[in-house]
Chain A
């Protein structure tokens, strides 16, 4: 996972967020209020388009969309 990709993830989240609050890479973005429920599918769509991945049901259930760290791992795992 390159630094550019991680920065892009953070930028994407910042664009979706209705707040300007700072967030750590390990924080749960939804519990923290950085992202809301209505942002979820847009986040999936953006990640799939930008990183050419397919977010699977298991990724979802395993909470891999919750933080910058987990998203970076999700994206980094894909070929």
Chain B
């Protein structure tokens, strides 16, 4: 392991740090990864050998999964005219954010306006490309798309499931009494809790493909929607940068491969123009999705081989950056299980572009400071 860790390229080390968030619940943070060592901070009560064994197992799988992921040059870079400062985010958080739970934040006043302004910018971008505005639920049934595409196997570590109480008087009365007398907040065995049959939506595009299941499309379809998305991130929650609930606007494309590539490129070019307007520095890179480590080997390699995922990382200052947009080609990954075809019965393909609204906020604030009068509003 030491040899593999010592020789692991940068993408593998960054990926390993992310994978360690889903290694053992006693791990509270990653102190350092690199130079042949992994150092973590863990709960004092942790079983040390169990944590160490978990780290060895996750590290081996994680590094192996990056075997074919290149540490390649960015496809595009931009240096901002002004300097970004990571410390601006802490000042912004103190002034405009209220933490309401792990990865859960209220935005107040000017921060809420900045969020709305950034979303409006990307909605205008999508509409200018011909997108049809949709509203989608922020929940996704587990009955069709998810099992058909293997999403829960490859991304289960991020998923938030729901329960509800059965509509039975006696069970409900028991829960009401426990809630009143014992401050019970979580249903227990005799409360008759049932799975909801849905998850809190980690992406926006899935519900578009579910809505188009069985469709026969005569032209390229482009849809845009703003979603509240949910991803559990273990110990990695950070205001604006990695939240349990976050906002993502997506442009979702369905059609012939050549048309999708051209439209994705048009949206990508318009997004890079937004970086110019906001004077944000960053880079565009080939990337891979955050697959669960035991399932990641082939998936990461395939994404890298096909260059199906491009990621725009925006500078935050002090060497830090955040993945604020992604541009993804899916081939027939969704259209085949959801039977979405063209006029002649041919399988269509899909693509999606996602803009992480809070991360764009972070880039704007890091660039301009926590004072709203200095923000370049889109």
Contact = CB atoms under 8 A, between A and B. Distances in A.
A41 B305 contact: no
A31 to B, nearest CB: 8
Nearest to B305: A60
Interface in A8-59: 30, 33, 37-42, 44, 57
A37 B70 contact: no
A34 B82 CA distance: 51
Contacts, number: 33
Chain B interface helix/strand/loop/mixed: helix
B298 A41 contact: yes
A7 to B, nearest CB: 25
Given A60-B305, A61-B305, A63-B305, A40 B70 contact: no
A54 B302 CA distance: 18
Given A40-B301, A41-B298, A60-B301, 4 more contacts: A40-B297, A40-B305, A41-B301, A44-B301
Interface of B: 67-68, 70, 297-299, 301-306, 332
Interface in A55-72: 57, 60-61, 63, 65
Contacts of A57: 67-68, 70
Contacts of A61: 68, 70, 305
Chain A interface helix/strand/loop/mixed: helix
Interface of A: 30, 33, 37-42, 44, 57, 60-61, 63, 65
B43 to A, nearest CB: 34
A79 to B, nearest CB: 22
B298 A42 contact: yes
